Amino acid sequence: MLPVVLDCADWPIILVGAGPLAVRRLALLDAAESCAVSVFAPTEDPALQKAAGSRSVPRAPTEAEIAAARLMLVAGLGPADGEPLAALARRHRVLVNVEDEPLNCDFHMPAIVRRGALLLTVSTGGRSPVLAGRLRRWLAERFGPEWAGRLDAAADVRTQLRTAGRGDEVSSAVNVLIDRERWLP
């Protein structure tokens, strides 16, 4: 596994699904902000339609729509639907994740704690989503909402020093800030 964080601002993304799993994936995409997401619901799903609003398309995506995407998430559908969608995505070199079907995934979704722009993630490579979820909750208890402001403060120090032409002092200055404010034990 290669851990990466994607800036999906200019990426056309497709979510295909139904039920609570698809709604949860949509919430994850929406939390990332600025992702251009089209939501396809092959079966009637009022909760997903409500969450997706104008992005909701009440059918499966066409091959052309999949080919135009850069990333596709499939959630809440069975293997009979997930496997052919994954194969089609791969044929068009679209990264795909079919929830709970590791063999139909090009990547796995980590468990996420989001504090502003700070992301804390846990991945088990798809081997134990339950363990990843437990670790996510453990991290969330220890890294509360105050961490969004802490990241902003560290970023401000970095920006000020780089603007002043003192980029070589950033690591030291941020470490001093962390220690002085006692952010970590």
Predicted confidence (pLDDT) per residue in 163-173, tens digit:
999 999 999 99
Q: Are residues 159 and 93 in the same domain?
A: no
42 within a domain of the structure (yes/no):
yes
Give yes or no for residue 129 having a pLDDT over 90. no
Span 138-160, average pLDDT: 97
- Beta strands 118-122; 71-75: pairing state: unpaired
Span 140-150, average pLDDT: 97
Confidence band (pLDDT; 50, 70, 90) for 108? confident
- In sign, the C-alpha dihedral spanning 64, 87, 5, 34 is positive
- Contact yes or no for 86/96 (Cβ under 8 A): yes
Task: Tally the domains of the chain.
Answer: 2
Structural domain for 29, as ranges: 12-109
172 within a domain of the structure (yes/no):
yes
Q: Are residues 170 and 96 in the same domain?
A: no
- Mean pLDDT in the chain? 94
Span 30-34, average pLDDT: 86
Give yes or no for residue 156 having a pLDDT over 90. yes
Span 134-158, average pLDDT: 97
Q: What is the pLDDT of residues 116-125, one digit of tens each?
A: 999 999 999 8
Choosing from 88, 109, 130, the residue where a domain stops is 109
119 within a domain of the structure (yes/no):
no
* Whole-number pLDDT of residue 35: 84
Distance (Å, whole) CA 80 – CA 84: 7
pTM for the structure as a whole:
0.86
Confidence band (pLDDT; 50, 70, 90) for 52? very high
Q: Domain holding 52: CATH number?
A: 3.40.50.720
- Beta strands 12-17; 71-75: pairing state: parallel
Q: Are residues 103 and 21 in the same domain?
A: yes
Distance (Å, whole) CA 89 – CA 86: 5
- Contact yes or no for 77/16 (Cβ under 8 A): yes
Our measurement of the distance from residue 151's CA atom to the centroid of its chain's CA atoms, rounded to an integer in Å, reads 19
